[in-house]
Amino acid sequence: MAETRMLEEELEFVKALAIEAATLALERAGNVTPVEKANRSFVTDLDRDLEQLIRGRLKAKYPGDRITGEEYAAEGGTGPRRWSIDPIDGTGNMVHGLPLWAISIGLLDEGEPVLGVIAVPPLGELYWAVKGRGAWLDGERLVAEDSGSIHPQDNICVGTNAMRTLDVRTIPGRLRDLGSACCEQVFVAANRLKACVFLGEAAHDVAAGSVIVGEAGCRFARLGGEVLTPSEMVGRTPVPAPTFIAPPLRLEALVRDARLLPPRGDA
């Protein structure tokens, strides 16, 4: 009971923090300065400032916890809990004015994702979940709809890295790439997408989202059928092989039929 009360308290704190960060992000998103990182992805002054804001609030509130994020080195305590921050997931979208980017704050306890909050500022949406307590969008419970088949008009999101590895002819439905792993995960939970496929995503991309999609009824599996727990999904990052997120029946159908592209030069 004490643990449940603690997570409820922390959930409210992190929801308020995500809303604060989202408000600041919206004020500044139209006037950011992008630079290329070593991997040629964009980072902006807003990414860095938001991560520092979130880190500062978490350090002051939970000084014994470890804090990690996309833009700065790990810091904080040495206890069993770790916060994982993605200040702007979908920076490229934001830089180009595409309104699909998110702020993500996840909590892991001894490696297990237990709390996740994701704000999508351009849409004014806030998603959250605590392990065992369901997934929510602005106070409305999220339950991912399941089916043993994929309709030709179902939206299936395949990330860029996965799309360059998979034979997309073996993926049914209408294929999308939204450019934000956090948006993709919460949209699966909200039934805007029926599934998403990742490859190469880091821990901060999936720490919060894994709690939300998991609590909405989704599961995780690699190409070839290996089923992953949320802890394995986050712990085995960067995601080393095409990994599907969907409700159980759809997940089974996707993993069963998906194939890799043949090696170059093969017929």
Give the angle 11-228-256 at the CA atoms, nearest 5°.
130
pLDDT band for position 40 (cuts 50, 70, 90): confident
Residues 160 and 230 in one domain: yes
Residues 137 and 14 in one domain: yes
> Does the pLDDT of residue 199 top 90, yes or no?
yes
pLDDT at 47: 94
In a domain, 104, yes or no: yes
Residues 196 and 226 in one domain: yes
Binding-site residues sit at 70, 86, 88-89, 205
pLDDT band for position 1 (cuts 50, 70, 90): very low
> Does the pLDDT of residue 5 top 90, yes or no?
no
pLDDT band for position 229 (cuts 50, 70, 90): very high
In a domain, 263, yes or no: no
In a domain, 186, yes or no: yes
Residues 208 and 120 in one domain: no
In a domain, 214, yes or no: yes
In a domain, 77, yes or no: yes
CATH of the domain at 19: 3.30.540.10
Residues 113 and 189 in one domain: no
Residues 102 and 214 in one domain: no
Percent with pLDDT over 70 in the chain: 97
pLDDT at 35: 85
In a domain, 193, yes or no: yes
pLDDT tens figures, 94-141? 999 999 999 999 999 999 999 999 999 999 999 999 999 999 999 999
Q: What is the mean pLDDT of residues 32-45?
A: 84
> Does the pLDDT of residue 146 top 60, yes or no?
yes
Of the three residues 108, 142, 176, the one that is the final residue of a domain is 142
The total number of structural domains that make up the chain: 2
Residues 38 and 118 in one domain: yes
Q: What is the mean pLDDT of residues 54-66?
A: 97
pLDDT at 266: 58
pLDDT at 6: 77
pLDDT at 21: 98
Q: What is the mean pLDDT of residues 139-154?
A: 96
Of the three residues 74, 109, 142, the one that is the final residue of a domain is 142
Of 153 and 266, the structure prediction assigns the larger pLDDT to 153
Residues 7 and 114 in one domain: yes
Alpha-carbon distance 135 to 94, whole Å?
Answer: 26
Residues 47 and 133 in one domain: yes
Residues 172 and 121 in one domain: no
Domain holding 185, by residue range, is: 155-257
CATH of the domain at 179: 3.40.190.80
pLDDT at 4: 56
* Cβ-count burial 14-27 (b if 16+ within 10 Å, e if not): bbebbebbbebbee
> Does the pLDDT of residue 193 top 70, yes or no?
yes
pLDDT at 91: 95
Binding-site residues for Mg(2+) sit at 70, 86, 88-89, 205
Q: How far is CA 140 from CA 59, 194, 205, 261, in A?
A: 30, 19, 23, 40
Of 28-32, 40-44, 92-96, 103-107, the poorest mean pLDDT is in 40-44
In a domain, 147, yes or no: no
Residue 60, judged by CB atoms within 10 A of its CB (0-12, 13-18, 19+), counts as: exposed
In a domain, 185, yes or no: yes
Of the three residues 88, 111, 142, the one that is the final residue of a domain is 142
